[in-house]
Amino acid sequence: MAKRKSSSKGKKSKSKGAMKGCNIGNGCKSKKGGLTAKGRRMINRKTGSKLKAPQPGGGARKKSYCARSLGQMKKFPKAAKNPNSRLRKARRRWKC
């Protein structure tokens, strides 16, 4: 019996290309790192995701973000050394 591939026509995909045409600029990037409320709304609308504002006070989201961004610091040592990189700014905003 041959396996058939299921067709996903008409469904919104969150895979590669989901962010295609999603240029983040013009008031969408925060100077402190991360996104502004306008940027989060734009990405949520285009991709169907549910991005939320930073949670610097504590909680599971903060713990998860800090762990993920620590991995980014290891992967991109040049950004990790620069105190003005978006990665470092975002980590400061989340109080990591």
Contact assessment for residue 13 and residue 46, using Cβ atoms and an 8 Å cutoff = no
Domain limits, the chain: 37-93
Predicted confidence at residue 5, as pLDDT, reads 56
* Residue 20: both structure tokens together: 């295609």
* Residue 91: both structure tokens together: 């980590």
Q: CA 31 to CA 67: how far, in whole Å?
A: 22
pTM, entire model: 0.62
Predicted confidence at residue 60, as pLDDT, reads 92
Predicted confidence at residue 19, as pLDDT, reads 55
User: Which segments in the chain show pLDDT lower than 50?
Assistant: 8, 11, 13
